[in-house]
Structure 1
Amino acid sequence: MTAVPRYSTPAIVLHWLVALLIFVAFPLGLYMADLPLSPTKLKLVSYHKWIGVTVAMLAALRLVWRLTHEAPPLPAAITGWERRLSAVTHGLLYVLILVIPVSGWLMSSAKGVQTVWFGVLPLPDLIGKDKALGEQLGELHEALNYTMLALVVLHVAGALKHHFIERQPFLQRMSLRG
């Protein structure tokens, strides 16, 4: 049996940790957005921000790791268009994983609500208070999140297609169990 080329353990851990945090932050953002202003909503917004800042930091670390460590080669059976689609999808996911938290931070800054990581570390406002800009940034933040959702669905569907339909060892590439 041939060994499956796998990502490194740090890459795998960062991948799944970032994915888990996003899978918590996205539905939390949807849920809290329509809540009336209350102590509960403020608490949930804080949790959402904490997750977002953490995602941004882990994503930056993940990007540095990825730029300094080669990904395992794709199986030879992957066609040229699939390779290009994979590269574009992964590139856009990296961009969005970094840009979405920044867009949320910009939105909070424009709305005049400081981001305080884990309630302990106040982060500087990135821009001055501007209610209209805050609303526009909120719309941008939402659009970016839905774009990422579409890309995540494409990413997962591709991995499952290759693994279950084409019987290529895609899931093992990102598994801690070799």
Structure 2
Amino acid sequence: MRPLTNTPTRYSWATILLHWLIALIFIGQLVLGFVMVRIESQRAAFELIQLHKSFGFLLLGLIILRIAWRLGNKAPPLPPSVGALERRTAPLAHLALYAFQLALPLSGWALVSVSTLEIPSMPFNLFVMPNLPLIESDAAEGFWAAVHWYLAYAGAALVALHVAAALRHHFLLRDQVLTRMITPSSAGE
């Protein structure tokens, strides 16, 4: 039986599921964002933008859930092989990842909220998502578009750093840092 919460040595299946689902959507959003602004067909671009907004709202909800889950489920401590500097920087890197995963969809929401085009956001065509209470203007749209763009590239760099660190632990240091986010904890651990 797999426990719902983290154990002292591994993450739970719920933590692992949230981690990988958010990772998949976050990376997919980066790719989709890159493609949708470069596509020639306006109709296809519009559809991709709507899909991007839908997954952005889903990502926002999932990251809020992930942060709440993390606050209620202490992460397993790092293995003894992890040095003092990495022990201090790893929590800061995770905090930065959470911050970017929150800021990126929020900046996208702000962008569509200030757009003078007034196209409603309908996540997965299920309901109309209300705009944030921001003033519509071309200047505000330009500002939030730039913020969203810069956050996307900074977020991509952070994800690349996170992946590189996980692979370093797995292949060079040969410790359990990556495997404990792949294999859930057991009742006895």
TM-score for both structures, normalised by structure 2: 0.88
Aligned to 2:82: 78
Aligned to 1:117: 123
Q: Aligned partners of 2:129, 2:173: CA distance in 1, in Å?
A: 47
Q: Aligned partners of 2:135, 2:100: CA distance in 1, in Å?
A: 23
Q: How far off is 1:128 after superposition?
A: 2.8
Aligned to 1:146: 153
1:88 aligns with 2:92: yes
Q: Aligned partners of 2:122, 2:56: CA distance in 1, in Å?
A: 11
1:39 aligns with 2:39: no
1:14-40 Cα shifts (integer Å, max 9, x gaps): 000011111211111001113346111
1:9 aligns with 2:13: yes
Aligned to 1:28: 32
> Secondary structure, in 3 states, of the residue corresponding to 1:76?
coil
Q: Aligned partners of 2:146, 2:39: CA distance in 1, in Å?
A: 17
Q: How far off is 1:92 after superposition?
A: 0.5
Q: Aligned partners of 2:137, 2:120: CA distance in 1, in Å?
A: 13
1:64 aligns with 2:60: no
Q: Name which structure has the greater RCO, CA cutoff 8 Å, separation 6+.
A: 2
> Secondary structure, in 3 states, of the residue corresponding to 1:132?
helix
Q: Aligned partners of 2:112, 2:40: CA distance in 1, in Å?
A: 17
How many correspondences in the alignment? 176
Q: Aligned partners of 2:66, 2:112: CA distance in 1, in Å?
A: 25
**Identical aligned residues as a percent:** 36
1:115-163 Cα shifts (integer Å, max 9, x gaps): 2111121111112311111111011001001111111111111111111
Q: Which runs of 5+ in 2 are unaligned?
A: 1-6
Q: How far off is 1:114 after superposition?
A: 2.4
Q: Deviation above 4 Å: which 4+ runs of structure 1? A: none
For residue 86 of structure 1, what is the amino acid of its counterpart?
A
Aligned to 1:170: 177
TM-score for both structures, normalised by structure 1: 0.93
Aligned to 1:158: 165
| Structure 2 CA distance for partners of 1:104 and 1:37, relative to 1, 3 Å | farther
Aligned to 1:99: 103
